[in-house]
Structure 1
Amino acid sequence: MGNSTAVVDEHQVEAWVRHVRLGLAICGALGALGLVVVLTGTFPQVPPWVTATVAGGTLLPLAIRLPWRRWRRHALGASSAYALSLLQWAGITAFAATDPAGPVFYAAAYGVVLLYACVGYAARVVAAFGALCVLGFIALAVSWGMRDTGAVIGDTGSLVVLSVLSVALAADREARDADRRKVDKRGLALVNHASDAVVVVDAAGVITYQSQAMCRIFGHAPDELVGRNSISLVHPDDAAQTHAWFGQVSRSTPGAVARLDLRLRDARGGWRHVELTGANLLHDADLRGLVLSAHDVTERKALEEQLTHSTFHDPLTGLANRALFRNRVDHAIARGQRTGSPIALFLVDLDNFKLVNDGLGHAVGDRLLAVIAQRLRDELRPSDTVARLGGDEFAVLVEDEVTELSAASVAERLVAAVRAPVDIDGQESLPSASVGVSILKVQGADRSVDSDADELLRDADLAMYAAKAAGGNRYAIFDPAMHADLLAEAQQRYELERALAEGQFVVYYQPIVELSSTRLVGVEALVRWDHPERGVIGPDAFIPLAEATGLIVPLGRWVLEQACRQLARWRAAYPSATDVYMSVNLSARQFQAPGLVEDVAAAIAAAGIPAGRLTLELTETLLMRDTVATVEALAALKALGVKLAVDDFGTGYSALGYLRQFPVDIIKIDKSFVDGVATSHEDAVLAQTIVQLGRTLNLQTLAEGIESTDQSSQLEALGCTYGQGYLFARPAAAQQIEGLLRGR
């Protein structure tokens, strides 16, 4: 296909040729009739030259009609046909002149032939020819002295009617041609200005036409691609598929549409993604090719790839995220089921990363994570998968040539890679990581991929926690005993939850006395687990698990409520107990949980006790965690009116320096100092130092774990005011404490 002018001219010429063929056929038929008349001697007076004219006029149109396809694209062919028809009409007219009866018939007949043949011209040209025929016939009739006026008028009327009909046909043809040209121009404009590029290729794949959109989208000059094989524009990776697709479209039902996604080269040598739509028009005589429409989807593909990447990759580090990593693990297990190859999974968890975020800020923490991610990537092969599962937890999947020895080597490299110092904006950090390793030896295809993946991740997680429990900055390879420990812990957690729901916990109370008089001044609430099978269980057996699982929060709230209610009952039953206070321990998990102040206020209000009769004990380590937040929380508790005590004082490392910031009332000397206070000069000096510090800061001192009279006497001599321990009373149920209250 070429430009629009060529398309319109071709249609015009073909219209002419169709009319000429019909006109020449009529001319030939009438010429043959005239020839028969001449040869049969119907008019013996006809001169020989007239006979030759008639014969030539008959044969020439037939000769012209045969090779019409060769002239179909040339207006010269149509013009020659009209000239020969005129020559034939002249010869027949001359022949008719020899017979006065002939002019009417022949002039009218060949006038009609001429008018019909001229339909290929404009209506005004046909009208001119018709007028000439009518006038010529009248002139001939007058010059030949035709006496049959009625016949002349009738034939003249016939010529006029035929002329009018021919003009009408010509006008109608002109209108249809104009509409067709308009449609052709509109279609061409749509093709050239559409967002999709259109090309036509022949059966061999050679481009025979390209729309102007090829210039706009791909940068190719007009008609630059015409004559080139279309496969040469296709990406090598898509060439075979495209070639097969061409064959499929070529063999499809005429007009059927097929689609294909592929990449095409642009004029700059780059590749653009396109959606190709093809229609089979090889049967169409005008096109004889495949019409292909190329829709450029390069930007959409880039956006899809970007969205896909963001869906399956961590935005901070660029590593695979949890979803993609799980997908890789599933595929690795499926391959392992076919090949029998083991798979190794590594979980890498940074140690104490929260201190980096809290101390240096989240921006520094994020940059540290990016550095660690790059280090892990550098330590592994391109075939290995590195992912960030979230927070400071990374994961690595290794598939090829996995043994326990090689897995240990990889784990050592990962630990060493993380351990190297990191300098971020002058801030040096010394990161470390705990690495858990699990190796899955695939048993066979009869196992579930999901279950194997869950098992692999679970085992690596258990090994990682084992490495962290051993102090971190190391790796641990999963051992089945870890799973047994996990099951035991899960069973304990279940039992702990059930015990809390079924009310199996009880509160014991240990008296606090004044050392100088051994008078009861307070009690400390201590929780015990009254197990239905194992009896009463001490806190050391379940408090660590409650802390780890978070159950310590509801359990601690329950102990606080029970202790406040018990103090209220004692105060109501024993008037002498109105100055006794209740001491309740707060765990670190409780202290950090939201709503602590509200819980304390609610427990005091529900029991109806003075807030000053409640003392909350906090460990020294807890106070050191987040100074600003801790001071705010302690201030909120003090605002309720409760007293605050520091438990296990002296076991920390920096409490002395920060003690002024905390609104505490009591410091409790840890049992480790009390044990040797009567026998060790060093312990006695330490205990005396704590007592003197309490006096300086106007704080009460309370020694815990007193088991002998020597310890009690020495502490009293050092100035310690209060004490508690087995010397005075063991933790006991509320009923036993009531005896002490009665004897007070």
Structure 2
Amino acid sequence: MSQPSCPNAEMYLAVLSALPDAVVVVDLGGALLFCNAAAEALLPGGIAGLGGSGISPDYQVLDPQQRPLAASELPLNRVLAGQRLHNKELILAVGQPSQTYWVACSGRLCSGMAMLTLRDISAAKQQEASLVQQAFYDPLTGLPNRHSFIDCLDQALVCAQSDPQRVMALLVIDLERFKLINDNLGHQVGDEMLVELGARLQSLVGSQGTVARLGGDEFAIFLDNLTTQASVIDLAETIHAAVQQPFLLQQQQVYANASIGVAFGAEAYQSAFDWLRDADAAMDQIKAYPHLGWQVFDSSLRVQQDLRLQTEVDLRQALDRGELRLHYQPIVTISNEEICGFEALVRWQHPTRGLLMPGEFIHIAEASGLIIPLGWWVLTEACRQMQVWTEQHPAMAEFTVSVNMSSKQFSQPHIVEKIQKILSDTGFVANRLKIELTEGVLIDHSDSIIATLQQIKALGIKLLVDDFGTGYSSLSYLHRFPFDCLKIDRSFIENADQDFEKLEILQSVVRLAWNLGLDVVAEGVETPRHHAQLKALRCELGQGYLFSRPLAPAAVEAMMAEKTTHLSDLPTVTRPT
């Protein structure tokens, strides 16, 4: 690009004046020689605020932490002292009340003058702050997110290495039944609840810790420089009580509960993820003991957690390897003790741990979602086996089979069609199938499930409420849902002959079932006294160890063969003609 032979000073001044960046030129004494229009607009009152001479300006120069600069640190003074500046980020606080601008300052000495440029980077810094907010903060609650919280824990671990006596704690908080609130009251109410919970936690923790939202309905708190571990327990109890206080959301009171896992640290941990894992393990323990509210992690929980993870891995393989088994517990008519059906109960023939009962793996299947394929396998196998027995043993032609279905299965699409296909594929008739649902299923799907249950019942399948009396609002569900039978939980049968209150409840449930036209099955019948009492109450059906333990298929076949032999050995009665 060619240069004019005789540069025109006016041309250069015109170019400088038109630049969008502020340009300031001073002599070595700090007196102003030139400033362009952008500088005049950005620096009301002159250049004295930058370190040059002149009257007191209407702005102040701050560092990136919004602290006023000392005179020697002002950008023009630094250039006059011989320093070079290159895109030094500073803040201009202009006017009262002040409006702030981010500027990038560059400057140097040149030909006996000092030149300084200031570029307004406020828009870029605002965008940067927005990206930081998105990357490190939860958009709903404004709390630090999981990524930011992990950074916080990592920094704490570094501090713990140099100060191992420092008392720190990590709390993980999970809302109970939050999905139910979301589904029944709407996601807007759920979001408002999370915002309110975040505010409550911040109010309780204050400046002594960091509150974060890890995702969903899970929050976490990091506490540092604690005086004692007991103070953490006090805080956990306070938080638990605070969560139980009603949330006023869209003019209605909503109630919730929380599980709180506590892990002290951090000298025992190498990574933030390990620390979180242990706090989660403590929190998961509360699922089995909901009355606890909070739980402190110890090494035995880590063993349980490792076993739980290994069990989940093995269970996934068990479905593919055919390791699941069904055992069948007879259901008898109370009046004559004759078998009229079975309940299908799943077992797991583990390759190294032996035969596992449902209590050792069903909760893991529920938490992992494996309960869905497991549940469909149970229904298919029960129908298949019953059809085989029907063809082999005519005496079983009227026997029914009861199968439990999980809440998660009812979250799946086309559930009625799947049941129909299983019946079609196995040849088992619908009116001999009974599907058992816990009251928890009804709570989780209270609005959506009614039509589904009606469609299932229209197939001829009977519907049972399992563990009746242990859930919520039992009586209201009996009126709303199309049930055929109640299964009385074993807790009402145990010691009913010695506990007058239990006996009263038992009588009331049986009477209620009669009035509603429902059958009653009593679980946990284990003694002759239980049997006699149920017989006196005119309870129709029962199951329990008094009649039979759950039987493997081979044991059922042996029992039926024995009955058939016994019947064939009876003398034939010839009627007189």
TM-score by length of 1: 0.64
- Give the 3 Å change call, closer, same or farther, for CA 576–190 of structure 1 in structure 2: same
Maintained 8 Å contact 1:343/1:441:
yes
- Residues 457-491 of structure 1 deviation map (CA, whole Å, 9 limit, x = unaligned): 22322333445654467544332232233233334
Cα deviation for residue 558 of structure 1 reads 1.4
Q: Which residue of 2 aligns with 1:567?
A: 386
Is contact 1:205–1:229 with CA below 8 Å preserved after alignment? no
Aligned to 1:539: 358
Structure 1 contact 351–472 (Cα < 8 Å) conserved: no
- Within a 5 Å distance, the mapping from 1:184-223 to structure 2 comes to 185-219=10-44
Q: Determine whether 1:237 maps to 2:69.
A: yes
Per-residue CA shift, 1:519-548, capped at 9, x if unaligned?
A: 543332222233445543433343344334
* Alpha-carbon distance in 2 for matches of 1:251, 1:709: 99
Does the alignment pair 1:485 with 2:313?
no
Residue by residue, what CA displacement relative to the aligned partner does 1:58-97 show, whole Å, maximum 9, x if unpaired?
xxxxxxxxxxxxxxxxxxxxxxxxxxxxxxxxxxxxxxxx
Counting only pairs closer than 5 Å after superposition, residues 95-110 of structure 1 correspond to structure 2 as none
Structure 1 residue 737, shift from structure 2 partner:
2.6
Partner of 2:146: 322
- The 8 Å contact of residues 334 and 542 in structure 2, kept in 1 or not, is answered as yes
Q: Which one of 455, 459, 483 corresponds to residue 664 of structure 1?
A: 483
In structure 2, the partner of 1:173 is none
The answer (yes or no) to whether the contact 2:30–2:80 under 8 Å persists in 1 is no
Larger CA Rg, structure 1 vs 2:
1
Query: What SS class does the counterpart of residue 448 from structure 2 fall into?
Result: helix
1:332 matches 2:148: no
Matched, 1:297 2:145: no
Q: Distance in 2 between matches of 1:708 and 1:221?
A: 99
Deviations 1:154-185 (A, max 9, x none): xxxxxxxxxxxxxxxxxxxxxx99x969x655
The structural deviation recorded for 1:210 is 0.7
- Number of residue pairs the alignment of both structures matches: 551
CA distance in 2, matches of 1:541, 1:411: 29
Quickly say closer, same or farther: Cα 1:412–1:272, change in 2 above 3 A.
same
Deviations 1:440-466 (A, max 9, x none): 2537xxxxx8x3322322232233344
2:29 and 2:142 map into 1 onto residues whose CA distance is: 47
Q: Which residue of 2 aligns with 1:47?
A: none
Structure 1 CA distance, aligned partners of 2:89 and 2:55? 15
1:33-73 Cα deviation digits (max 9, x unpaired) = xxxxxxxxxxxxxxxxxxxxxxxxxxxxxxxxxxxxxxxxx
Give the deviation of 1:567 after TM superposition.
Answer: 2.1
2:558 counterpart of 1:558: no
Aligned partner (choices 180, 195, 198) of residue 373 of structure 1: 198
* 2:572 match: none
| Distance of 2:544 and 2:257 partners within structure 1 | 42
Deviation at 1:335, TM superposition (A): 2.8
Cα distance in 1, alignment partners of residues 327 and 309 from structure 2: 27
Q: Distance in 2 between the 1:678 and 1:273 partners?
A: 81
Structure with more relative contact order (C-alpha pairs < 8 Å, separation 6 or more): 2
The answer to whether the Cα contact below 8 Å between 2:492 and 2:505 also exists between their aligned partners in 1 is yes
Shift in CA distance, 185/331, structure 1 to aligned 2, threshold 3 Å: same
Identity of matched residues, %:
37
CA distance in 1, matches of 2:375, 2:106: 71
Q: Which amino acid aligns with 1:556?
A: G
2:401 paired with 1:582 = yes
CA distance in 2, matches of 1:615, 1:508: 16
Report the AA paired with residue 344 of structure 1: A
Q: Compared with structure 1, are the counterparts of its residues 441 and 639 closer, same or farther at alpha carbon in structure 2 (3 Å cutoff)?
A: same
Does residue 261 of structure 1 match 2:89?
Answer: yes
Equivalent in 274, 283, 294 of residue 455 of structure 1 = 274
Q: Which amino acid aligns with 1:696?
A: N
Match status 1:611 vs 2:444: no
Name whichever of 221-230 and 685-694 sits farther off.
221-230
Deviation at 1:728, TM superposition (A): 4.3
Higher mean displacement: 501-510 or 259-268 = 259-268
Give how far 1:615 is off.
1.6
- Seen in structure 2, the aligned counterparts of structure 1 residues 504 and 407 have a Cα distance that, compared at 3 Å, is same
Check conservation: 2:340, 2:399, Cα contact below 8 A.
yes
Deviation of 1:514 (Å)? 4.1
Are 2:219 and 1:394 aligned?
yes
Question: 1:698 is matched with which residue: 504, 510, 517?
Answer: 517
Residues 188 and 541 of structure 1, relative CA distance in 2, 3 Å threshold: closer
Distance change in 2, residues 1:291/1:344 (3 Å): same
In the TM superposition, what whole-angstrom CA distance separates every residue of 1:561-602 from its partner, at most 9, and x where no partner exists? 111211222233344544333221223444445554343233
Q: Secondary structure at the match of 1:628?
A: coil
Aligned counterpart in structure 1 of residue 104 of structure 2, from 267, 275, 278: 275
Residues 160-179 of structure 1 correspond to what in structure 2 (within 5 A)? none
2:137 to 296, 313, 322: 313
Whichever residue aligns with residue 295 of structure 1, its letter is R
Partner of 2:325: 506
**Contact conserved, 2:51 with 2:75, CA < 8 A, in 1?**
no
What is the rounded CA distance, in whole Å, between the counterparts of 1:674 and 1:463 in structure 2?
34
Shift of 1:194: 2.7
The DSSP-based 3-state class of the residue aligned with 2:398 is coil
Which position in structure 1 is the counterpart of 2:571?
A: none
Q: How does 1:385-464 map to 2 (within 5 A)?
A: 385-415=210-240, 418=243, 422-424=247-249, 426-428=251-253, 433-442=258-267, 451-464=270-283
Structure (1/2) with the larger helix percentage:
1
Secondary structure of the residue aligned to 1:294 is strand
> Is the Cα–Cα contact under 8 Å of residues 343 and 400 in structure 1 kept in the other structure?
yes
Aligned with residue 732 of structure 1, among 547, 551, 560: 551
Q: Deviations over 1:108-143 (max 9, x none)?
A: xxxxxxxxxxxxxxxxxxxxxxxxxxxxxxxxxxxx
TM-superposed deviation, 1:329: 1.6
Alignment match, 2:79: 246
Deviation at 1:323, TM superposition (A): 1.4
> Is 2:407–2:444's contact at 8 Å kept on the other side of the alignment?
no
Would the alpha carbon gap of residues 698 and 438 (structure 1) be closer, same or farther in structure 2, given more than 3 Å must change? closer
Contact 1:208–1:226 at 8 Å: present in 2 too?
no
Q: 1:618 deviation in Å? A: 1.7
Q: Once the 2 structures are TM-superposed, how far is the Cα of residue 189 of structure 1 from its aligned partner? A: 3.4
Shift of 1:209: 0.6
| Aligned residues of 1:437 and 1:464 also touching (Cα < 8 A) | yes
Is this contact kept in 2: 1:351–1:473, CA < 8 A?
no
Contact 2:439-2:466 within 8 A present in 1 as well? yes
Shift of 1:621: 4.5
Where does the alignment leave 5 or more consecutive residues of structure 2 unmatched?
Answer: 63-67, 568-577
The amino acid that maps onto 2:123 is E
The one-letter code of the counterpart of 2:103 is V
* Alpha-carbon separation, structure 2, partners of 1:262 and 1:680: 79
Closer/same/farther in 2, CA of residues 655 and 227 from structure 1, 3 Å limit: closer
**Deviation of residue 419 (structure 1)?**
5.4
Letter in 2 for 1:237: L
Asked if 1:627 is matched to 2:455, the reply is no
AA matched with 1:260: K
User: Residues 673 and 335 of structure 1: is their aligned pair in 2 closer, same or farther, counting only changes over 3 Å?
Assistant: closer
Please provide the CA RMSD for this pair: 4.1
What residue ranges of structure 1 are gaps of 5+ in the alignment?
1-175, 283-287, 444-448
Per the alignment, residue 169 of structure 2 pairs with 344
